[in-house]
Structure 1
């Protein structure tokens, strides 16, 4: 049994979490900023963090670059926005046409959509570049999708899979390496999977129901995931790649992670997984510290994973998120006229309430996961 690694200290965990969030906020908000500048939108502020301004400066274009008290987040404020969520000021319509031309609210619909989408999209691009850089520096590892051993009483054995079988597809998605099989099994909620494989040149298809097991990670955390009961060949191949193939692998892995995130959220919404498995800010900070304690490379790769998460979550069609803005723009495109100010206000308020409610639930779960509620119960007993 592998010895458990010590948990990183609170200050180290907090520092690495702040560094990661700061970098990703600059990347995300930088996407909005660059797209806005490209289309000639006037920008009041680019803020690092929230709350009271600590220091800052004004550039030649009139944008205030400021650093605020709370370093967890940030925003770009376009001229005419009432708040950091880019809720427009309804009084802007009274401005002269020359002034409205520079305002985000009066830009063509397609330009507004690009500016809003630029934030999440640059998160995906950032992750692709990180992964591509890692692959160029260290090579791209992969293991052939060949089964070397089968657990006697496992799901794969019950379905008829044998050593030597080469897995070719799972649920219709092609499999190129054993890592694809492991990822599909681990993100499974125990639902049956259609597995295609090749045996002695003959294609076969079986249905396998992964077994949900609990394992302990290197830091003592309990993780629930699916398992098929097969082992890889162990013959890992590290391919030296140039920029083109590195980018191709970066795109493929980013897409695979995105699909896994979408599958997990769908499983939670459908009740196939517990909401307890969805980490909040405390859990994210804890994992960030753990990965950073393993070295700079682990921290950078985890930052790529979290960047994909940030991009995906921001595309969810909830008002206040970028996806919510895009949803309202889609409605505007169908109606061929802007949505009323009252409806937008209601949408933003409901979106804010939904996000805050989710954060409260996730934080509550996080506090339970790190043992806070158990300690409180022991004090009261």
Structure 2
């Protein structure tokens, strides 16, 4: 049960910050954001603030920000429609009642002759019994449809995604993956601040109780001056000598509380699968400082970004099998293992997942943020947008292929862990 909660919280946080990036930059560009959703499927919680409906949905497998104009507006006012009009204090149409008009006796009912609710923001039509008297009604910038008693905000063209400049649209889409890198950095920075950031000094950090260092009598804080007569200038020097000498007695000369001690240590052998290395059960030294934690956050974010990109490169070149990929089931299983090792490791795992989510979303694949950015790049080169229907079809096909890949990966996970 704890793993389920940890998985939902971690994945929910990654999706929340990803979508928050989209939301903030879209709103800053003036785009009407109809919904900010965590999860898919039926709503289990909703809250409206200003123009946006914030929802949590049943299936915690993603999220989205529904921006006006990204999909065709699903409510239209066409010639011949009978609609009710409600006005604001300035005499402009504030609400358009499309059905159940008898519930709004104060509404002026007209038959529509023409309507432009994107650019001109006006409606022309005839009131009942006055077919010879064509009237024009100006629609307020912030106005609403009323459908089945529910209000739906009308999106003028200048509030739609497509109306914004290429740079504004690019920032709104790129902000999602960017927030995943920011989240990873913040988590790693906090970890460095809580547990200390590693420093490259020839000093022993924490020791494992059953390691050969503790059994030999070494202690946390011992400064390693030399090993077998070889001077140690950094932690990397210490690690290198230990790794190269499994099951070999090494003479450690250490400084402890102003005294110099010589301690023989035999590194235990550890099989990595490729070679046998030595280890003594000692962690690297750490220090707790703001600048050290800042550097640790940057370095770790960069290191994991590079590792994930190298893994993707191996996948493309065939050095990495698709059977080695993990979907939700595999991630859940790994989260279970990491959760058992403590909160610190769980937070580090969350940071790695956040970086992975940011990188995957930046891949130039249709239906992902990177695919959309690729279309923006093509638009920048050719000087005009690609046909929306063509782009929509490409994204639809890309989404279908991604779902197929997800099914394959999930089935592999199930076979690997349960069959």
Which residue in 2 is equivalent to 1:104?
Answer: 161
Q: Aligned Cα RMSD in Å?
A: 3.5
For the residue of structure 2 that corresponds to 1:129, the secondary structure is helix
User: Does structure 2 retain, via aligned residues, the 8 Å contact 1:143–1:233?
Assistant: no
What's the TM-score, normalizing by structure 1?
Answer: 0.69
Residue 286 of structure 1 pairs with residue 309 of structure 2: no
Which residue in 1 is equivalent to 2:5?
Answer: 15
1:63-212 to 2 correspondence within 5 Å?
A: 63-82=52-71, 95-96=118-119, 99-141=156-198, 177=236
Select the residue among 353, 356, 366 that pairs with 1:306: 353
User: Does structure 2 retain, via aligned residues, the 8 Å contact 1:178–1:232?
Assistant: no
Higher helix share goes to which structure? Answer: 1
**Higher relative CO (CA 8 A, sep ≥ 6), structure 1 or 2?**
1
CA offsets 1:297-323 (integer angstroms, 9 cap, x no match): 221111111001110110011111110
What's the TM-score, normalizing by structure 2?
Answer: 0.63
Select the residue among 322, 334, 351 that pairs with 1:275: 322
Which residue in 1 is equivalent to 2:214?
Answer: none
Change (3 A) 1:228 1:332: farther
User: Does structure 2 retain, via aligned residues, the 8 Å contact 1:283–1:366?
Assistant: yes
- How far apart are residue 80 of structure 1 and its match? 2.1
Change (3 A) 1:237 1:289: closer
Structure 1 distance, partners of 2:229, 2:276, is: 14
Structure 2 distance, partners of 1:22, 1:269, is: 29
User: How many residues are treated as equivalent by the alignment?
Assistant: 294
Residue 262 of structure 1 pairs with residue 313 of structure 2: no
Structure 1: gaps of 5 or more residues:
1-10, 83-87, 146-162, 167-174, 182-213, 216-224, 373-381
CA offsets 1:217-255 (integer angstroms, 9 cap, x no match): xxxxxxxx7746554687644232432332222111111
Structure 1 distance, partners of 2:196, 2:19, is: 31
Change (3 A) 1:89 1:352: farther
Change (3 A) 1:164 1:358: farther
Structure 2 distance, partners of 1:47, 1:258, is: 27
- How far apart are residue 54 of structure 1 and its match? 2.3
Structure 1 distance, partners of 2:402, 2:284, is: 43
- How far apart are residue 48 of structure 1 and its match? 1.8
Structure 1 distance, partners of 2:309, 2:49, is: 40
User: Does structure 2 retain, via aligned residues, the 8 Å contact 1:144–1:178?
Assistant: no
Which residue in 1 is equivalent to 2:47?
Answer: 57
User: Does structure 2 retain, via aligned residues, the 8 Å contact 1:141–1:236?
Assistant: no
Which residue in 1 is equivalent to 2:146?
Answer: none
- How far apart are residue 28 of structure 1 and its match? 0.6
Change (3 A) 1:234 1:13: closer
Larger Rg belongs to: 2
